[in-house]
C-alpha cells in the first residue's frame, strides 16, 4: 500500500481516536456535573424537609409552653389542669415543674431530677428555652413566669407521638419517587415516608438544635433514582458512541480491504500485460525464425520443410488462440460478448480441439485417452466458444504436466447434462487455490508455474463460457497427482 494511503488511513484512525477520547471525556464530565447537580438539589430538598420538621417541633413547643404559662400564672397550680395539658400535648412526655428553690411543683411528691443542678443562675434570670440532652433524649428546659416567681419546666419528648404528629404530618406528603427517612442517634430508622425496600441512601442532613441527635436521610429506589437516570442516559450515549466507533472501524476495514483488492488487481493486471506480451512473443519469434530459414532456401529435404511448415501453422494457431482469449476476455469485461447457442453434437467439437493439439501432444509424447459415450445427445452450445474453452483446458493440461504426460478427455451424459472432462496427471492444484484459479488474472504463484507463462484469464474465460451456456465448470485436483476439469453443458431439449 502506498505511503499516501497509509497516511490517509492513519489520519482517519487518529481522528477517530481523538473523537473517542473527547467523547468519553466530555461524557464523563457531563455525567459528573449532572450527578453533582442532582446531589445539590437533593441536599436542598432534604435540608428543606429538615427545616420543616424543626419548625413544626418549635411551633408545638411554642404553643404548649404558652398554654403551660397560662396554667403557671394561676394562683394555685392545679394538678388536674396539668394532667389535662399533658393529654392535650402528647408530643411531650414527663412534664416536670420546679421552682427556683429546687422544689418539684409537679408531679407532686417527685424528687428533683439531677438535671436541675446543671441549670445556671443566669438561665433563671434571663428566662427563655434551651434543649438539653439527657442520654439520647432531648429535654426542653424553659423558664416561664409563674404566680409565685419563675418556674422551670422540663419537657421530655414522646418519640412515638413525635413520629405520628410531627414527622408523618410534615414528611408524609412528599411527592416523587424519593423517600425521606429520619434516623435516630444510632443511625436506626425511626420513620420512613414510604416503604424503602431496596432503595439506597443518597445523603443525610442534620436537624437543627431542636432535634440534635436525629438526621433526615434521602433514599432513592433503584432505577427510578435521578442519578440512575443520568447513568442511563450516559449509558445510552456511550452505546451510541461505541456504535459510531464500530461503524467507523468497519468502514476503515472495508476501505482497507477494498484498497488491498484494488492494489492486488492492479498488480495482476500489470502481470497480465507482461505475461501476454511474452506469450505473444514466443510463437512470433518461432514463426519468424522458421519462415526466414525456409525463405533463404536453407532447408534441403522436403520432410524437414514440411516439419517447418507445420511448426509455423501450429505456432500461428497458438497465437490465434491467445489473441482470441484476450479479445474475448476484453469483450466479456466490456459486456459485449455474444454467443450463438443452438443444439450441436459434442463429439466433433472434441475432435476438432484434439486435432489442433495433435502436434504438441505428439511432440511431448503425451499419452492420450479419449472416451466419448456413444449415445451422447446434442447439447445447447456455441461450438466456437466451447472449442475455445476446451482448448484452454487442454492447453493447461499440457502446460502443467511435467514427467507423467497423460491427457484424458471424456464426455458422458449425467441427467440433463453432458459432462466433458479434461484430466491430466500433472502438478495439480492445492485445495486452497481450487476456487481462486477461476478468477480473472489469477495464477498460482508457485515455483512450478513460474516457468510457464500464462495470462491468467484462460480459466476465467472457461467459467464465463460455461455459465453463459447455463452450465458450469468445476475442478478436482491433488497436488502432485493431477487435475480434472469438468465442463457441464445442458442437453438440447433436456428434460
Q: Choose between 428 and 471: whose C-beta lies nearer to ligand ADP.
A: 428
- In angstroms, give the least distance from the CB of 370 to ligand ADP: 17
Q: Choose between 211 and 473: whose C-beta lies nearer to ligand ADP.
A: 473
> Contacting ligand ADP (CB under 6 A), which of 89, 426, 464, 487?
426
- What are the DSSP calls for 4-51, one per residue? HHHHHHHHHHHHHHHHHHHHHHHHHHHHHHHHHHHHHHHHHHHHHHHH
Number of residues that bind ligand ADP (CB under 6 A): 22
Q: What is the chain's alpha carbon radius of gyration, rounded to the nearest angstrom?
A: 53
- What are the DSSP calls for 397-450, one per residue? HHHT--SS-EEEEEEEEETTEEEEEEEE-SS---GGGTTGGGSTT-----HHHH
Q: Choose between 243 and 323: whose C-beta lies nearer to ligand ADP.
A: 323
Grid coordinates belonging to 416: 440433463
Where does this chain touch ligand ADP (CB under 6 A) — which range of 23-31, 303-311, 419-427, 464-472?
A: 419-427
- In angstroms, give the least distance from the CB of 402 to ligand ADP: 10
What's the CA gap between 461 and 248, in Å, rounded? 38
Backbone φ and ψ of 377, nearest 5°: -75, 165
Non-local CB neighbours of 477 within 8 Å, separated by 6+ positions:
428, 429, 431, 434, 483, 484
Backbone φ and ψ of 373, nearest 5°: -60, 140
- In angstroms, give the least distance from the CB of 307 to ligand ADP: 27
- In angstroms, give the least distance from the CB of 422 to ligand ADP: 8
Closest CA to 69 of 136, 3, 155: 155
Neighbours of 461 (CB within 10 A): 23
Site for ligand ADP in 432-451 (CB under 6 A): 437, 442-444, 449
Is residue 397 close enough to count as binding ligand ADP by CB under 6 A?
yes
Is residue 423 close enough to count as binding ligand ADP by CB under 6 A?
no
Where does this chain touch ligand ADP (CB under 6 A) — which range of 57-65, 132-140, 189-197, 421-429?
A: 421-429
Site string for ligand ADP, 138-167 (x = CB under 6 A): ------------------------------
Site string for ligand ADP, 451-480 (x = CB under 6 A): ---xxxxxxx--------------------
Non-local CB neighbours of 163 within 8 Å, separated by 6+ positions:
182, 190, 191
Is residue 424 close enough to count as binding ligand ADP by CB under 6 A?
yes
Q: Choose between 427 and 465: whose C-beta lies nearer to ligand ADP.
A: 427
Is residue 390 close enough to count as binding ligand ADP by CB under 6 A?
no
- In angstroms, give the least distance from the CB of 21 to ligand ADP: 49
Q: Choose between 146 and 426: whose C-beta lies nearer to ligand ADP.
A: 426
> Which residue is associated with the grid cell 464530565?
29
Burial class (CB in 10 A: 0-12, 13-18, 19+), 228: middle
Grid coordinates belonging to 300: 534441403
Is residue 429 close enough to count as binding ligand ADP by CB under 6 A?
yes
Q: Choose between 426 and 471: whose C-beta lies nearer to ligand ADP.
A: 426
Site for ligand ADP in 355-374 (CB under 6 A): none
Is residue 211 close enough to count as binding ligand ADP by CB under 6 A?
no
Q: Choose between 350 and 429: whose C-beta lies nearer to ligand ADP.
A: 429
What's the CA gap between 205 and 207, in Å, rounded? 7
Closest CA to 13 of 245, 261, 239, 241: 245
What's the CA gap between 313 and 255, in Å, rounded? 50
Cis peptide before 397 (omega within 30 of 0): no
> Contacting ligand ADP (CB under 6 A), which of 396, 419, 473, 489?
396
Burial class (CB in 10 A: 0-12, 13-18, 19+), 57: buried
Q: Choose between 152 and 457: whose C-beta lies nearer to ligand ADP.
A: 457
Non-local CB neighbours of 338 within 8 Å, separated by 6+ positions:
none
Residue nearest to ligand ADP (CB): 454
Q: Choose between 456 and 471: whose C-beta lies nearer to ligand ADP.
A: 456
Is residue 483 close enough to count as binding ligand ADP by CB under 6 A?
yes
Non-local CB neighbours of 427 within 8 Å, separated by 6+ positions:
400, 401, 402, 448, 449, 479, 480
Where does this chain touch ligand ADP (CB under 6 A) — which range of 218-226, 354-362, 420-428, 465-473?
A: 420-428
**Which positions touch ligand ADP (CB under 6 A)?**
392, 396-397, 400, 424, 426-429, 437, 442-444, 449, 454-460, 483
Amino acid at each position: 500500500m502506498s505511503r499516501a494511503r497509509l497516511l490517509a488511513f492513519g489520519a482517519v484512525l487518529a481522528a477517530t481516536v481523538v473523537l473517542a477520547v473527547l467523547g468519553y471525556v466530555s461524557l464523563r464530565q457531563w455525567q459528573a456535573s449532572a450527578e453533582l447537580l442532582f446531589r445539590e438539589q437533593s441536599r436542598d430538598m432534604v435540608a428543606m424537609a429538615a427545616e420543616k420538621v424543626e419548625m413544626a417541633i418549635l411551633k408545638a413547643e411554642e404553643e404548649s409552653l404558652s398554654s403551660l404559662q397560662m396554667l403557671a400564672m394561676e394562683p394555685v397550680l392545679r394538678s388536674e389542669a396539668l394532667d389535662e395539658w399533658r393529654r392535650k400535648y402528647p408530643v411531650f412526655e414527663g412534664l416536670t415543674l420546679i421552682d427556683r428553690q429546687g422544689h418539684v411543683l409537679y408531679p407532686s411528691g417527685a424528687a428533683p431530677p439531677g438535671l436541675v443542678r446543671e441549670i445556671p443562675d443566669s438561665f433563671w434570670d434571663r428566662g427563655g428555652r434551651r434543649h438539653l440532652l439527657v442520654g439520647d433524649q432531648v429535654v426542653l428546659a424553659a423558664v416561664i413566669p409563674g404566680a409565685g416567681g419563675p418556674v422551670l419546666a422540663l419537657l421530655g419528648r414522646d418519640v412515638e407521638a413525635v413520629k405520628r404528629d410531627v414527622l408523618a404530618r410534615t414528611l408524609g406528603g412528599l411527592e416523587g419517587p424519593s423517600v425521606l427517612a429520619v434516623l435516630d442517634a444510632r443511625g436506626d430508622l425511626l420513620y420512613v415516608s414510604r416503604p424503602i425496600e431496596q432503595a439506597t441512601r443518597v445523603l443525610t442532613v442534620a436537624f437543627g438544635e431542636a432535634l440534635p441527635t436525629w438526621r433526615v436521610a434521602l433514599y432513592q429506589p433503584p432505577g427510578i433514582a435521578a442519578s440512575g437516570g443520568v447513568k442511563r442516559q450516559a449509558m445510552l450515549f456511550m452505546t451510541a458512541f461505541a456504535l459510531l466507533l464500530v461503524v467507523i472501524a468497519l468502514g476503515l476495514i472495508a476501505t482497507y480491504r477494498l484498497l488491498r483488492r484494488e492494489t492486488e488487481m492492479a498488480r495482476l493486471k500489470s502481470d497480465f500485460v507482461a505475461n501476454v506480451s511474452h506469450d505473444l512473443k514466443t510463437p512470433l519469434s518461432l514463426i519468424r525464425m522458421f519462415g526466414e530459414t525456409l525463405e533463404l532456401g536453407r532447408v534441403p529435404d522436403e520432410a524437414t520443410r514440411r516439419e517447418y511448415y507445420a511448426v509455423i501453422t501450429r505456432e500461428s494457431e497458438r497465437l490465434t488462440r491467445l489473441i482470441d482469449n484476450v479479445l474475448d476476455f476484453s469483450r466479456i469485461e466490456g459486456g459485449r460478448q455474444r454467443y450463438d447457442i443452438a443444439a450441436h453434437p459434442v463429439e466433433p467439437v472434441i475432435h476438432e480441439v484434439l486435432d489442433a493439439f495433435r502436434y504438441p501432444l505428439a511432440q511431448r509424447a503425451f499419452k492420450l485417452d479419449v472416451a466419448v459415450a456413444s449415445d451422447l445427445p446434442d447439447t445447447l452450445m456455441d461450438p466456437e466458444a466451447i472449442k475455445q474453452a476446451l482448448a484452454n483446458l487442454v492447453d493447461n493440461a499440457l502446460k502443467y504436466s511435467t514427467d507423467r504426460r497423460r491427457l484424458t478427455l471424456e464426455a458422458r451424459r449425467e441427467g440433463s447434462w453432458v459432462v466433458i472432462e479434461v484430466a491430466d496427471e500433472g502438478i495439480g492444484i492445492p485445495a486452497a487455490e481450487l476456487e481462486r484459479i477461476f478468477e480473472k488474472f489469477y495464477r498460482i504463484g508457485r515455483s512450478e508455474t513460474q516457468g510457464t507463462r500464462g495470462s491468467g484469464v484462460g480459466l476465467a474465460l472457461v467459467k464465463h463460457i460455461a455459465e453463459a451456456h447455463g452450465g458450469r465448470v468445476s475442478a478436482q485436483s491433488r497436488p502432485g497427482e493431477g487435475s480434472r476439469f469438468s465442463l457441464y453443458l445442458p442437453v438440447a431439449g433436456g428434460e
